[in-house]
Structure 1
Amino acid sequence: MNIPSNLTEFLYWAKERTEKLWSVNNENCPKGFYGARWQPLSEEQIAQIEQQYAVSFTIEHKEFLKILHAIDKKEIVEYEDDDELIAEECTFFYNWLENEEEITDQIKYNYEGIWNDVTSVNHVWLKSWGIKPKSIEKRKGIFDEWFSKLPQLLPVRNLSCVVSNENLKWNPVICIRGSDIVILGWDFRSYLLYELRKHLNIYTDVYDEELGMFYQEFVDEVQNIFDENFKYDEIKDIPYLKEMILYWSSGWKGFGLNYYPENVKGIRPIVRTYIAEEEK
């Protein structure tokens, strides 16, 4: 397969590979993608977007925007509701020229989703915040100060956001579901391999003799990239947000850490790594 390691070369490789798959209307082309083409941005457009949204894209993110960015089709998502099959058109990757409402809503959700987990759903309280105050106003003051220190979290697709901080050696892409935050890739290349996995033909069919059926797994080259990308590295960090990611056991794997001993089998529930002392 020879997946390029250079980001620019990889982005052109992904562009060619996805558009080729989308050019043929058969069972391999996901619903809604037939004839889809990427819509790159110019450097001038990127500069205008940064000014409009008061954001700063990383070098990797800018390269992605200049070569891929978004597509000119809608993804068709199907699901059942009361035994009725529903099909909805959804935005694939956010288009910074057209999806202003969706992008701003996602930016707001990053704040509101975590805050909701602090106040009601999961009663999250980080160790670094100290003893939880009884007053909701004081809690919000502590939370707002913490949130103001986070790197910019720039939407890229659905709940996925780029951690925008050029002072970091690694520039991860994360998925934010309230306080449950997971790392999808420590660089754009690994993230896109994950996000475009159904569009890049990077699977191989493996036969399970015990079950008598085929299943798909990543080809060795892709799996090796993921394994290398998620290796433990003590310098991997996301300022202030790392503690929130490690609050749930689901986030540990992203840092190459095992919350449970390797010999533990079965379902591993999401558990809190720290529960603050409640006010009395």
Structure 2
Amino acid sequence: MNIPSNLTDFLYWIKERTEKLWSVDDENCPKGFYSAKWQGLSEEQIDQVERKYEVSFTPEHREFLKILHAIDKKEIVEYEDEGEMIAEECTFFYNWLENEAEIIRHIRFIYKSMWNDVNSVNHVWLKSWGLKPKSLERKKEIFDEWFSKLPQLLPVRNSSCVVNSKNLKWNPVVSISGSDVIIVGWDFRTYLLYELREHLDIYINVFDEEDQMFYPELIDEVQKIFNENYKYDEAKDIPYLKEMILYWSSGWSGFGLNYYPDNARIHPIVKTYIAEEEK
């Protein structure tokens, strides 16, 4: 398949491959995507977006916005509700020129959902925050101070955000829902392969002798890219957010950790720290 390693070449490869699949109205074309086209932004438009939202895109993010950015169609998501099938039109990748309300809502949701996990749902309390206060006001002060230090988190699609920091060697994309923070790619290339996996024809059907069934598996070239991207590198870091990522798991291989250390087995969704509370 020869997936380009250069980001610019890769983004054009994504554009050509997805638009080709979307150009044919058959069972391989996901619902809502027939004849869809990517809508890149000009340098001037990107500059205008930065001023409007008071953000500063990394070079990698700017390149994505110039070549891909968003599509001119709505994704159709089907689900069952009380026995009735519902088809709903949804935004695919956020359009920074048209989806202002959705983008602002997403940015606010990051804060609200995290604070909700601290305040009520999971009663999250990070080790760096020290003794857990009884006072709700003091808890919020500590949380707000920590949140204010996070790198900018810029929405891309659904719960996925770009960690917007020019000081990092890696520029990861993370999925955030409250304290549940997952790295979905340490760079745009890996993230897009993951996010667009159903639109790129990168699976093959492999027959399972035991089940006597075919199962889809990523082709070797793509699986190798994922494996390489998630290898440990001491430069892989996300200031402040890393501690939240590790709160629910000490097994993040990208941080050089393992679910199964010597003589122990740590389940991935178990808290790694239980806070001491004020008496």
TM-score (norm 2): 0.97
Change (3 A) 1:152 1:194: same
SS in 1 for 2:176: strand
Q: CA deviation at 1:278?
A: 2.0
Greater shift in the superposed pair: 251-260 or 118-127: 251-260
Q: Tell me the matched-pair count.
A: 279
CA contact 2:172–2:187 (8 Å) conserved in 1: yes
**1:138-217 residue pairs with structure 2 within 5 A?**
138-217=138-217
| Range with bigger deviation, 219-228 or 270-279 | 270-279
Give the conservation status (yes or no) of the 8 Å contact 1:181–1:251: no
1:234 Cα deviation from its structure 2 partner = 1.6
The answer to whether the 8 A contact 2:250-2:272 is kept is no
| Aligned position for 2:271 | 272
**1:249 match: secondary structure:** coil
Gaps of 5+ in 1: none
Distance 2:264 2:15 in 1: 41
Secondary structure, in 3 states, of the residue corresponding to 2:198? coil
| Paired position in structure 2 for 1:225 | 225
CA contact (8 A) 2:250 2:257 kept: no
Match of 2:130?
130
Report the 3-state secondary structure (helix = DSSP H, G, I; strand = E; otherwise coil) of the residue aligned with 2:85: strand
> The residue matched to 1:63 in structure 2 has which SS?
helix
Secondary structure of the 2:222 match is: helix
The 5 Å alignment of 1:48-127 reads 48-127=48-127
Residues 39 and 72 of structure 2 are in contact (CA less than 8 Å); yes or no, is this contact kept in structure 1?
yes
CA drift at 1:56: 0.9
State the TM-score, normalizing by the size of structure 1. 0.96
Shifted more, 256-265 versus 167-176: the winner is 256-265
Counting aligned pairs with the same residue, the percent is: 77
**Pair 1:81–1:269, CA change in 2 (3 A):** farther
Following superposition, the deviation at residue 254 of structure 1 comes to 4.5
Tell me, in whole angstroms, the C-alpha distance in 2 between the residues paired with 1:78 and 1:194: 21
1:4 alignment counterpart: 4
Give me the CA root mean square deviation.
Answer: 1.7
Distance 1:121 1:254, change over 3 A: farther
Give the Cα separation in 1 of the matches to 2:87 and 2:264: 40
* Change beyond 3 A, Cα 1:149–1:31: same
Query: Residue 195 of structure 1: CA displacement?
Result: 0.2
Are the equivalent residues in 2 in contact too, given 1:230–1:256 (CA < 8 A)? Answer: no
Gaps of 5+ in 2: none
Deviation per CA, 1:230-262: give whole Å up to 9, x if none.
001122100010000000128724435222349
Query: Aligned partners of 1:262 and 1:25: how far apart in 2?
Result: 53
Q: Against the structure 1 CA distance between its residues 192 and 94, is the aligned structure 2 distance closer, same or farther, given a 3 Å change threshold? A: same
> SS state of the match for residue 246, structure 1?
helix
CA distance in 1 between counterparts of 2:250 and 2:201 reads 27
1:14 is aligned to 14
In 2, are the aligned partners of 1:250 and 1:270 still within 8 Å (CA)? Answer: no
SS in 2 for 1:112: helix
Per-residue CA shift, 1:128-164, capped at 9, x if unaligned? Answer: 0000111111111111111111000000000000000
1:233-244 correspondence to structure 2 within 5 Å:
233-244=233-244
* Structure 1 residue 83, shift from structure 2 partner: 1.4
Q: What do residues 154-186 of structure 1 show as CA deviations (whole Å, max 9, x unaligned)?
A: 000000000000010000000001001000000
